[in-house]
Structure 1
Amino acid sequence: MRQDRPVSTAEIQPEETAPEETAPAEAWQPDQLPSEAVREEYQRVVDEVRRHRHAYYTEDAPLISDAEYDALYRHLEELEALHPELVANDSPTQEVGGEVSAAFTPVRHLQRMYSLEDVFSLEELQAWVERATASVARLGGDRPLRWLAEVKIDGLAVNLLYRNGELVRAATRGDGTTGEDITHNALTIKDIPTRLAGSNLPAELEIRGEVFIATSGFRELNEQMVAEGKAPFANPRNAAAGSLRQKDPAVTARRPLSMFVHGLGAREGLAAGSQSETYALLRGWGLPVSPYFQVMDSFEQVLDFIGHFGQHRHDLLHEIDGIVIKVDDFGLQRALGHTSRVPRWAVAYKYPPEEVHTKLLDIRVNVGRTGRVTPYGVMEPVKVAGSTVEMATLHNQDVVKAKGVMIGDIVVLRKAGDVIPEIVGPVVALRDAQEPKVREFVMPAECPSCGTPLAPGKEGDVDLRCPNARSCPAQLTQRVAHLAGRGAFDIEALGEEAAVALTMGPGPDPAENGGAVAPGGPGVITTEAELFDLAASHPDPELRARLADVRVWREKRSKGQGTGVFELVPYFYTRGTAKKPSVPTANTQKLFEELDKAKSQPLWRVLVALSIRHVGPTAARALATAFRTMDGIENATEEQLAHVDGVGPTIAASLKEWFAVDWHREILQRWKDAGVRMADEVDESIPRTLEGLTVVVTGSLEGFSRDEAKEAIIIRGGKASGSVSKNTNYVVAGENAGSKLDKAEQLGIPVLDEDGFRKLLETGTV
């Protein structure tokens, strides 16, 4: 006889299972019947939810983002809470999952598969935990209440049925009672064993899990789809679902599908008392159990778990959209029971949305400081991950093609925390409805800034570059902005806008260009060699005088609102009047002074400021430590440069190539004449305590900035590495240390706090 494992605590009695969840009684009164307008709104929302559920679950082609669907579904729940008399048994809020496709044989699950209740804030989660805790207390259970938290995989729910260890059936969740038979396709997934390992296996066992495609596999799959002339998938979840629902198992076998198990249905002969204990059994039988779970005793630990994976969600093997919290004990799970749709012993906390849908208005190109020409998307402004986004990188023309996006598409946009926004792909199902019709992006053949024909930097390069490095206004602008950045000279008064004003003249009236400000050219300076001629202690009167004529477009405003009318106004100087002549603004005066301060920056910052391809702060520090002077670096052989730890042959070749260009050497000479520091003084009083040691700093330290900590390591002869490996000697962990700390602990590398770091710097040991 098939049954769940019995509960040994006789004193625990299950709560009544309510057929449905409704709003509190005070939410409505019998005489407050819904108006016709409310009924129409309710039916409209029901129809919309059904339409999007069908697109998501049955067609594997969502028409809106998860965040938009969640908002729509919650609106439906609010309407039903206010007007419970409208709720019918076939309301989407009373159903589990989606429909069963006629393309597959329907099969009935031995035990129903439920959905999960979703919460969208930590306050809602805390309220749910408090309700569950109170319910357990009312039931009189004497077991300690422990929570199992695991990441919520963004995949397709499946049910595997094993009899005496043999896989006899695989099915989708379907409507929770009946699913689609996908056995032949599931057999192609390497993670799913056809026979369980070990002995004394359960006579009958339903395994619930999630089929997914890893993030790296998803990118490769979409590139392959586009190369074959097929529409790319919108996201990994729908790629997994579409792959598992193929009529031909051979097609499924070619897709990079994986699976993690996360629960049980019917079971006969299973001796386990908790979810976590079951995971250990399942792993021993050869089933794939997610490594991302933890059992904990308090809500505070649950919050820490949520916070950790919120920070590291993009470091995982697969996409996640939240955290699932379950009561670990099977006896308490059974006592708490279910509603008609969800278990009362589990909940899903959903992270704030990082993916939204918006319209791709155009694809334009940007010319970078090394000449690389990068396409980027211009979109209808949309709020995602807490900020409004209207532009996102598309990397190069091959990426545009691989993603399958066209101008005019509705696209999936992702912004993970502070990461640059990314266009994931198009919502192909909406393409035919777009007006005007979508069109393909064509990469320009000439530089949009200077008109020079574009070409790869070298044979085999995917990226196209503008070879006119010396005279291209766009490249000069980006180089000036870069050299003023925090990783180079750190000139606060010289931001992106000031760099544009210095290097480019104003373009056409933005009112005639759809409101977009288009820079012209050339500007006040035609090479970065001239920059320090503006410094307070080394001014070039003629160059400074030209600043007075620099104009930029500004939109006129009325009562704080834009008018759509633009005017040319001075950028570096005040507006002059008959009584008050135009003079440098306070910010311009600050720029003159900060240019003087920048001259005393250490050698490695000067190296970074030169925009030498591949030379970032790490390589620049290593070079400055090894050679101490700019002349020493310039005169070193390629072999000597490559031998420096952290440099290597690619950077060495790039350095020799850069120094071989005459106008590059002119920049160095002009800067040197203006007083820019070209050598580091060796402080003989600082002992070389870290000679031969590799140290990684992660997190925030109170007494050191990240750069200061690295500098302290390097001047004592150590290597300041950015990644943890078996060759790392010490890891210094400050506040909010992340995955580097985790890896150090896994590898058994000594971890130091700030006090330990100071001692290491002093003595070379702890």
Structure 2
Amino acid sequence: MTTSARQAAERIAALRSEIDAHNYRYYVLDEPTIPDAEYDRLFNELKALEAEHPELITPESPTQRVGGAALSAFGEVRHEVPMLSLGNAFAEEDLREFDRRVREGLADQLPAGDLFGGGAEVEYSCEPKLDGLAVSLLYENGVLVRGATRGDGSTGEDISANVRTVRNIPLKLQGSGWPARLEVRGEVFMSKAGFEQMNARQLESGGKTFANPRNAAAGSLRQLDPRVTASRPLEFCAYGIGLVEGELPGTHYDILQALKGWGLPISRELKLARGVEECLAYYRNIGERRQSLAYEIDGVVFKVNSLAWQRELGFRAREPRWAIAHKFPASEELTELLDVEFQVGRTGAVTPVARLRPVQVAGVTVSNATLHNMDEVARLGLMIGDTVIVRRAGDVIPQVMAVVLERRPADARPVRIPEHCPVCGSQVERTQLVRRSKSGRANVSEGAVYRCVGRLSCAAQLKQSIIHFVSRRAMDIEGLGDKIVEQLVDSGLVSSPADLYSLSYEQVVALEGFADLSTRNLLASIEASRTPSLARFIYALGIPDVGEETAKVLARSLGSLARIQQALPEVLTYLPDIGAEVAYEIRNFFDDGHNRSVIARLLEHIRLQDEGEVHAEFAASVSLGDFLARLEIPFIAATGAQKLADKAGSLEGVIALSQDWLELSQLKGLNEKARQSLREFFAAPANVARARAIERQLLDFGMHWSCEKRVVEGLPLAGQTWVLTGTLEAMSRDQAKARLEGLGAKVAGSVSAKTACVVAGPGAGSKLAKAGELGIRILDEEQFLALLAEHGLGV
């Protein structure tokens, strides 16, 4: 071996050792010591060296996880020690009966009970039962040589090529002292966050989505092409052993700790419990935290901890007498779709709702489930009479996840959207999405939502719109609950939100359930709502797709109701987080004559607060280059648009230049296609008129490049997205949100890769778990209060 080859071999060995150590800290200890960028540098250096010296590549190298050529079929693996299933406990009494049988079976081994008659207690290991696919990993002399599925318990499938792609399965064991042959058993699963991200990628690419993380994990691990498996976010958790040739500790708990020391991930929820009462306490604790865990579980597994006692208890049929799975109530069940009915919401959206044969799902009787919209009905291929899989997780509304096609009856009926509103009889129309093509033309496509066109003449829309208008986060009119709103509408006293401000004492006191004091309280609450902030008022109007945060963006950015009403869709898209679809919804809402009439009537009764100028952040914020790029002229991207802006200096200059072929041909940076496209674009009068209209509005709003730029006062959290989860003790969630917004942050309801920080109070759940998975900064309440105090916003 030459000197350079020897040096490469030494460096490769050192890199593998270092990378394996970092994988152990990351996947097993959850204590990474280097940033991702440094890990990537080491990994890429190893890949480069192995590419230069392919003769030095070994199967256990960290680089060998990408998957090789596709297989034609899986081979069979006969388990030398059968992979048996566990017995199940579904109720507390079942677990107590299991413990009684264990103690009976160990009567000769257990110490005598106490003087007061209490029996001796058995020590159990406890861990969550992951909802994935059981696999077996065989290590020989510390090197992974085979992976297999459980199969029927005696024979499984050889998935060696696929398990090698799972990032947290060590290809070579860490440390020393492992048996010469060691079969590790565990579960391959997919975290909730990984599942969501994978399904999102599948949707983007037009691929098949999975119903739940378990199906996704099982389907990913049984791909004939290992490269597909390598692309999926799979994880492994060891829960036991099979074949062993060598020495291991004498308890199940200590064996798992040894596996952890050798680089295999084990459950962070692993605990020991003495006696059945401690087991039940563990089960209840995990059950309460189930939704906040980063992965799906369907129960808890209890195992007699002593291996000697396990051998004493032995097996019964195809399951051990020393272990049991205490299952949670099922979160998925089969039932029959009896019918599909349609509900009408406040924006007129006509939404299908599944009426189901009642079934127990996760401990709750479910008879209805959401279907979202008709596109979802089509995606599921749903027909009335079908047997369907219904899923319920925590407090989430039950969903129909899939159809069991093989059980479809001969008389199954298609689901059809009604032509007329089921409440008012008005026409039901499919929404239209308007998009500008690159040629400047408006393209109309069908949306996913069907709407009743009856607007406030539809009782359902009127009631829902008023319920939304008076809600706490909108106009905050206390005392106007759903039933009272229904009374007001049904009695004819209220036919629009503006009518609330004309209610008299005599009209209210005559309503069912009202007396003198409650009437005066309601009228006082209505009176107190006459001076809302602009953001509250915009949100209260119930514009489709405009939630509380978007309403705040509109109010803060444009500063007045008049500007928001006038704003063109193209101008609205200059504001943060407002895309084309929402911009057109806003424009369509204010273009509607009925909506304008209701707003005019409301303004006779209320006085908006906080109105002012366009925010300084947007003063003279639009450059000519950006303006031209946003016109979406074919073949003219940002660079070309800027060259046009630099050359022409104004919109009128660009329009003139577009028709001056000689001058345009001398402009460097635009090719022939781009020049021809520019000429054709501005040769169309409609495009010229549209561009000039947008420019006029930018001038009116002070956003035009020629306007005076104002100084923006810096806010410490400007541009950051924060998330609040759990219960804060020093202040309400709304107060915390207001303080964060005062520091410039946007407060979102869900955690994503763009989240800057999560504030987690007691009882924090899945958002905290997801933040931990994504490596997002997390503050507890004490740290959050300290941050606020630093900026003068203490409690």
Same topology, TM > 0.5: yes
Q: How far apart, in 2, do the equivalents of 1:429 and 1:150 lie?
A: 36
Are the counterparts in 1 of residues 293 and 766 from structure 2 also a CA contact under 8 Å?
no
The match for 1:75 is none
Which of 545, 554, 557 is the equivalent residue of 1:614? 545
Cα distance change, pair 245–219 in 1 and its aligned pair in 2 (3 A): closer
Cα distance change, pair 361–741 in 1 and its aligned pair in 2 (3 A): closer
- Corresponding letter in the other structure for 2:501: F
Q: How far apart, in 2, do the equivalents of 1:257 and 1:744 lie?
A: 17
The match for 2:369 is 392
Are the counterparts in 2 of residues 209 and 259 from structure 1 also a CA contact under 8 Å?
no
Q: Does 1:182 align with 2:157?
A: yes
The match for 1:69 is none
Using the TM superposition, give the Cα deviation of residue 740 of structure 1 relative to its aligned residue in structure 2, in angstroms: 4.4
Cα distance change, pair 643–502 in 1 and its aligned pair in 2 (3 A): same
Are the counterparts in 1 of residues 723 and 749 from structure 2 also a CA contact under 8 Å?
yes
Cα distance change, pair 387–504 in 1 and its aligned pair in 2 (3 A): farther
* Offset from partner CA, 1:117-160 (integer Å, 9 cap, x none): 4333567657867997996995579xx99865433123343434
Q: How far apart, in 2, do the equivalents of 1:605 and 1:258 lie?
A: 44
Cα distance change, pair 717–208 in 1 and its aligned pair in 2 (3 A): closer
SS of alignment partner, residue 611 of structure 1: coil
* Offset from partner CA, 1:356-412 (integer Å, 9 cap, x none): 332211123333333433222112233434544322111122322332332112222
The match for 1:536 is 504
Cα distance change, pair 596–626 in 1 and its aligned pair in 2 (3 A): farther
Are the counterparts in 1 of residues 302 and 324 from structure 2 also a CA contact under 8 Å?
yes
Cα distance change, pair 501–699 in 1 and its aligned pair in 2 (3 A): same
SS of alignment partner, residue 382 of structure 2: coil
Whichever structure has more helix as a proportion of its residues is 2
- Corresponding letter in the other structure for 1:384: V
Are the counterparts in 2 of residues 630 and 679 from structure 1 also a CA contact under 8 Å?
no
Where do residues 149-228 of structure 1 align in structure 2 (5 Å cutoff)? 149-164=126-141, 165=143, 167-168=145-146, 170-174=148-152, 176=153, 178-179=154-155, 181-183=156-158, 187=162, 190-191=165-166, 196-198=171-173, 202-211=179-188, 216=195
Q: How far apart, in 1, do the equivalents of 2:364 and 2:130 lie?
A: 25
RMSD: 5.4
Q: Does 1:597 align with 2:572?
A: no
* Offset from partner CA, 1:511-548 (integer Å, 9 cap, x none): xxxxxxxxxxxx76554443433x337x9xxxx6xxxx
The match for 1:489 is 475
Structure 2 portions without partners, runs of 5+: 1-72, 113-120, 435-443, 613-712
Using the TM superposition, give the Cα deviation of residue 450 of structure 1 relative to its aligned residue in structure 2, in angstroms: 1.2
SS of alignment partner, residue 413 of structure 2: coil
Using the TM superposition, give the Cα deviation of residue 268 of structure 1 relative to its aligned residue in structure 2, in angstroms: 1.3
Q: Does 1:380 align with 2:357?
A: yes
Which of 456, 461, 477 is the equivalent residue of 2:432? 456
Cα distance change, pair 628–320 in 1 and its aligned pair in 2 (3 A): same
Q: Does 1:700 align with 2:668?
A: no
Cα distance change, pair 721–313 in 1 and its aligned pair in 2 (3 A): same
Are the counterparts in 1 of residues 339 and 356 from structure 2 also a CA contact under 8 Å?
yes
Where do residues 611-690 of structure 1 align in structure 2 (5 Å cutoff)? 611-621=542-552, 630-631=561-562, 634=565, 654-674=585-605, 676-680=606-610
Moved more, 213-222 or 196-205: 213-222
Cα distance change, pair 106–138 in 1 and its aligned pair in 2 (3 A): same
- Corresponding letter in the other structure for 1:453: E
Moved more, 104-113 or 394-403: 104-113
Q: How far apart, in 2, do the equivalents of 1:451 and 1:588 lie?
A: 41
SS of alignment partner, residue 352 of structure 1: coil
Q: How far apart, in 1, do the equivalents of 2:186 and 2:368 lie?
A: 37
* Offset from partner CA, 1:694-746 (integer Å, 9 cap, x none): 76543224564432443355457665454568998876544322344556776
Where do residues 92-491 of structure 1 align in structure 2 (5 Å cutoff)? 108-121=78-91, 139=110, 149-164=126-141, 165=143, 167-168=145-146, 170-174=148-152, 176=153, 178-179=154-155, 181-183=156-158, 187=162, 190-191=165-166, 196-198=171-173, 202-211=179-188, 216=195, 258=234, 260=236, 261-269=238-246, 271=248, 289=265, 293-295=269-271, 306=283, 310=287, 313=290, 319-326=296-303, 338=315, 341-343=318-320, 345-431=322-408, 434=409, 437-444=411-418, 447-448=421-422, 449-458=425-434, 459=444, 462-466=447-451, 468=453, 470=455, 473=458, 474-491=460-477
Using the TM superposition, give the Cα deviation of residue 610 of structure 1 relative to its aligned residue in structure 2, in angstroms: 0.7
SS of alignment partner, residue 584 of structure 1: coil
Q: How far apart, in 1, do the equivalents of 2:384 and 2:198 lie?
A: 21
Cα distance change, pair 636–493 in 1 and its aligned pair in 2 (3 A): same
Q: How far apart, in 2, do the equivalents of 1:321 and 1:454 lie?
A: 41
Cα distance change, pair 526–185 in 1 and its aligned pair in 2 (3 A): farther
Q: How far apart, in 1, do the equivalents of 2:315 and 2:609 lie?
A: 72
Cα distance change, pair 291–359 in 1 and its aligned pair in 2 (3 A): same
Q: How far apart, in 2, do the equivalents of 1:593 and 1:753 lie?
A: 38
Q: How far apart, in 2, do the equivalents of 1:730 and 1:245 lie?
A: 37
Are the counterparts in 1 of residues 165 and 229 from structure 2 also a CA contact under 8 Å?
no
Are the counterparts in 1 of residues 137 and 144 from structure 2 also a CA contact under 8 Å?
no
Are the counterparts in 2 of residues 214 and 318 from structure 1 also a CA contact under 8 Å?
yes
Q: How far apart, in 1, do the equivalents of 2:751 and 2:231 lie?
A: 33
* Offset from partner CA, 1:187-240 (integer Å, 9 cap, x none): 48833999932587643332323355676489959999xx99x9x998665676
SS of alignment partner, residue 442 of structure 1: coil
Cα distance change, pair 718–426 in 1 and its aligned pair in 2 (3 A): closer
Are the counterparts in 2 of residues 189 and 258 from structure 1 also a CA contact under 8 Å?
no
SS of alignment partner, residue 420 of structure 1: coil
- Corresponding letter in the other structure for 2:471: G
Cα distance change, pair 613–592 in 1 and its aligned pair in 2 (3 A): farther
* Offset from partner CA, 1:609-639 (integer Å, 9 cap, x none): 2112332223334555667764575577879
Cα distance change, pair 591–362 in 1 and its aligned pair in 2 (3 A): farther
The two structures have a TM-score, normalised by structure 2, of 0.59
Are the counterparts in 1 of residues 292 and 764 from structure 2 also a CA contact under 8 Å?
no
The match for 1:512 is none
Q: How far apart, in 2, do the equivalents of 1:222 and 1:157 lie?
A: 26
Where do residues 727-746 of structure 1 align in structure 2 (5 Å cutoff)? 732-741=759-768
Q: How far apart, in 2, do the equivalents of 1:761 and 1:662 lie?
A: 49
Cα distance change, pair 715–304 in 1 and its aligned pair in 2 (3 A): farther
Identity %: 35
Are the counterparts in 2 of residues 696 and 731 from structure 1 also a CA contact under 8 Å?
yes
Using the TM superposition, give the Cα deviation of residue 111 of structure 1 relative to its aligned residue in structure 2, in angstroms: 1.9
Using the TM superposition, give the Cα deviation of residue 758 of structure 1 relative to its aligned residue in structure 2, in angstroms: 11
